[in-house]
């Protein structure tokens, strides 16, 4: 459905143990709300990212449920702490069943 969906995530490469790190994520997606009408007056069907999750080494950081009121190219910013070296896994769930993933390693010194 949605074309050119591309996740972009900003995570520091290194961190100290239990440091608070801010993670910024953005995914290019039209987030069609299901409210708009096209030129002929037909309602454009809803097509959004309805859920986003962030995990670190399998442990949950944040699980967000998104509604049509989230803007185009949904952006999320949140804080995580990293107890050890590992990998963040970010997952976006599309209305059409597609799942987009991105992963980032963080080294704890």
Phi, psi of 19 (to 5 degrees): -70, 145
5 vs 86 by CB, closer to other proteins: 86
Q: Which helix (H) or strand (E) holds 105?
A: strand 99-108
6 vs 63 by CB, closer to other proteins: 63
Which strand ranges, in their side-by-side order, compose the sheet holding 99-108? 14-15, 99-108, 86-94, 49-56
Min. distance of Cβ 51 from other proteins in angstroms?
10
Would you count residue 9 as binding other proteins (CB under 8 A)?
no
Interaction residues for other proteins, span 24-83 (CB under 8 A): 33, 35-37, 55-56, 59-72, 74-83
Would you count residue 93 as binding other proteins (CB under 8 A)?
no
By CB neighbour count within 10 A (0-12 exposed, 13-18 middle, 19+ buried), where does 68 fall? middle
Positions in the binding site for other proteins (CB under 8 A): 20-21, 33, 35-37, 55-56, 59-72, 74-83
């Amino acid at each position: 459905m949605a074309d050119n969906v591309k996740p972009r995530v900003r995570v520091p490469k290194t961190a100290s143990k239990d440091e608070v790190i801010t993670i910024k994520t953005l995914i290019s997606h039209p987030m069609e709300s299901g409210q708009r009408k096209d030129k002929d007056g037909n309602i454009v069907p809803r097509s959004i990212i309805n859920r986003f999750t962030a995990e670190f080494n399998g442990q949950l950081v944040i699980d967000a449920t998104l509604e049509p009121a989230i803007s185009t190219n949904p952006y999320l910013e949140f804080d995580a702490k990293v107890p050890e070296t590992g990998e963040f896994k970010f997952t976006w769930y599309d209305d059409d069943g597609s799942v987009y993933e991105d992963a980032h390693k963080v080294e704890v010194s």
